[in-house]
Amino acid sequence: MLVSGTPETANPVSDACELNEMPCVSTVVPWQPWFFGRKGDPKKGFRFTYHFFWGLEDVITVYTGMWQSVQTNHSVGGLFPNDGDGNAWGDAKLGFPPVLAQKGFTLKDPGRFQSMTQDFSAQISSFKQSNAQIVTGVVIPPDAKNFLVQARQQGLKPKVISIGKALLFPTSIEALGDLGDGLSTEVWWSPSHPFKSSLTGQSARQVADDYERVTSKQWTQPIGFAHALFEIAVDSLKRAKDVDSNEAIRDAVASTKLDTLVGHVAWGNGPVKNVAKTPLVGGQWVKGQKHPFDLAIVNNQLAPSVPLSGPLKLIA
C-alpha cells in the first residue's frame, strides 16, 4: 500500500495497514505527526508501516535559517490550526516553541483555530500587539488567503512570511496576486534537486519538464515524492524473497537502500525505526519569467547539494 498526503490521509491508511499486517509506505507528512500522531513508541516502532519525509526539526532549521539571514526584530507570530500539522508545529515540546526560544526568537501563539476560519482579526491583533515582523504557521490555502488579505486591510505588514502547506502550489500563489510575491516556504523537491529516478533514469529537471509539457501546468513539489513511492515499491518487490508473503515484502521495504528522485531513502538510520529522512531546503516565491511565480531556493544549509537561486529578500 502506498499513501501520500497530510496526517488526515496518511495516518488512518497506515493504521489500517498496521492492523491488517499489510506492508505500507507513506510520505508527505512530517515524521512526528505521522509517528507520534499514531501513538508510536520509539522503542518499538511499527511492524508493517514505513515512512519517508523530513521532520519538524528540519523545517524549523530551514525557517530560522532563512529568518536569521535578514534583519528583523526576531518577533514571530504563529498560525497553528487545530489539526494534525498545526498541533505538531505548535507543540510546546516537539514543535516550534522551544527551538525558537533557544535561537533568540519570541513566539506569539494566539492558540488553535479551526481550518476554514473566515475571520483572523484576533490573530492579526495579537501579532500587531507583539510587533511580529515574521509570521509563520502551517495552514490550508483558503486560510492563508483570508489571513493575508485581512492582515493587509488591518495594517499588519510582516517583513517575512514563511508558511507551510498553503504555499505549496503555484496556483495558490497566483490566487493571492501581489500578496504572493516574496512569501517563503519549505521546499522538499524541485527541478534543482540533483537526484535521478531509479526507474527512468530521468533527472528532477527532466521529470518536471515532462510534467509541464504533458499537462501544460507548472511543476509542483509532490510530483517527486509520488514518483519516489513507486520507485520504492518496485525496488522492494524486486528484492522480496516471496512476493506472495506480506512479511517478505515488509522485510524488503525495511532493508531499502535506494537513490530516488527525492534523494537516498534507507530505513535503519532515522530518528525512529520506521522513518527515513529526506533533504529539505527553503524557498521564496518570486515573480517568474516562464510562469507568473517561480520558487527560488534561498536556504540550503541542510542540503548543500541543492543549488541556491539567491538570498531571501524581505517582503516589500
95 and 7 fall within a common domain: no
Per the listing, cell 513508541 goes with 41
Domain termination residue (choose one: 152, 167, 182): 167
- Amino acid 190: pLDDT: 98
- Amino acid 94: pLDDT: 87
Examine residue 184 and state whether it is found in any structural domain, yes or no: no
- Amino acid 112: pLDDT: 98
- Residues 26-65 have pLDDT tens digits of 999 999 999 999 999 999 999 999 999 999 999 999 999 9
124 and 109 fall within a common domain: yes
Confidence of residue 196 (pLDDT cuts 50, 70, 90): very high
75 and 158 fall within a common domain: yes
- Residues 205-257 have pLDDT tens digits of 999 999 999 999 999 999 999 999 999 999 999 999 999 999 999 999 999 99
45 and 62 fall within a common domain: no
Examine residue 177 and state whether it is found in any structural domain, yes or no: no
63 and 153 fall within a common domain: yes
The predicted model gives 285-308 an average pLDDT of: 97
The predicted model gives 291-303 an average pLDDT of: 97
Examine residue 187 and state whether it is found in any structural domain, yes or no: no
47 and 97 fall within a common domain: no
The b-or-e profile of 107-144 (16+ CB within 10 A means b, else e) is bbbbeebeeebeebeebbebbbebebbbbbbbbbbebb
Count up the domains in the chain and report the number: 2
d(CA 164, CA 142): 13
61 and 146 fall within a common domain: yes
Domain that holds residue 256: 2-53+193-277
148 and 65 fall within a common domain: yes
Write down the pTM of the prediction.
Answer: 0.94
The b-or-e profile of 216-251 (16+ CB within 10 A means b, else e) is eebbbbbbbbbbbbbbbbebbeebbeeeeeeebbbb
- Residues 80-116 have pLDDT tens digits of 999 999 999 999 998 999 999 999 999 999 999 999 9
- 27: closest CA among 180, 252, 164, 226? 226
State the cell numbers at 262.
527525492
Examine residue 303 and state whether it is found in any structural domain, yes or no: no
Confidence of residue 117 (pLDDT cuts 50, 70, 90): very high
CATH number of residue 132's parent domain:
3.40.50.2300
Examine residue 291 and state whether it is found in any structural domain, yes or no: no
d(CA 312, CA 15): 40
